[in-house]
Amino acid sequence: MTVKRWEHMADMLIRLMATASLVAVIFLGYQQHRSQECFQRYADAQAVTTAARANAAEQDRQAQSRLYMDIATRPEHSIAALNAYLRSQRETDSQRAKNPIPPPPSAVC
């Protein structure tokens, strides 16, 4: 083989490697972008769920405090206080059911 032919083959090989590298960079950039979007959606869903569940927990805590106070200060109203507490629990259970914990990113991304 002549020197000119070797130079041509080397040039073609370099161009092929450069093209393959460019394709790989574009593909990996796209994959990274998709992963980033997925993690952002997960973080957004987790924030909404956490806020709703924290609100439900606060409602539970307040309802329990009212129940204890009613039993301690107005024992004659204990049954009504207990029924109010149970109603509150059903409402917060429903709120939790409407805001399930999202699956982890490893399952969805």
Q: What is the pLDDT of residue 1?
A: 66
Q: What is the pLDDT of residue 60?
A: 92
Q: What is the pLDDT of residue 54?
A: 94
Averaged pLDDT, 87-99: 94
Determine if the pTM surpasses 0.85: no
Number of domains in the chain: 1
* Helix segments in 1-109, DSSP class H: 3-73, 78-98, 105-108
Query: Residue 69 pLDDT > 70, yes or no?
Result: yes
Q: What is the pLDDT of residue 48?
A: 92
Contact 20, 63 (CB under 8 A): no
Give the Cβ contact number of residue 75 at 10 Å.
9
CA distance 68 to 52: 25
Task: Report the length, in residues, of the chain.
Answer: 109
* Domain interval for residue 100: 3-108
Contact 42, 109 (CB under 8 A): yes
Q: What is the pLDDT of residue 2?
A: 84
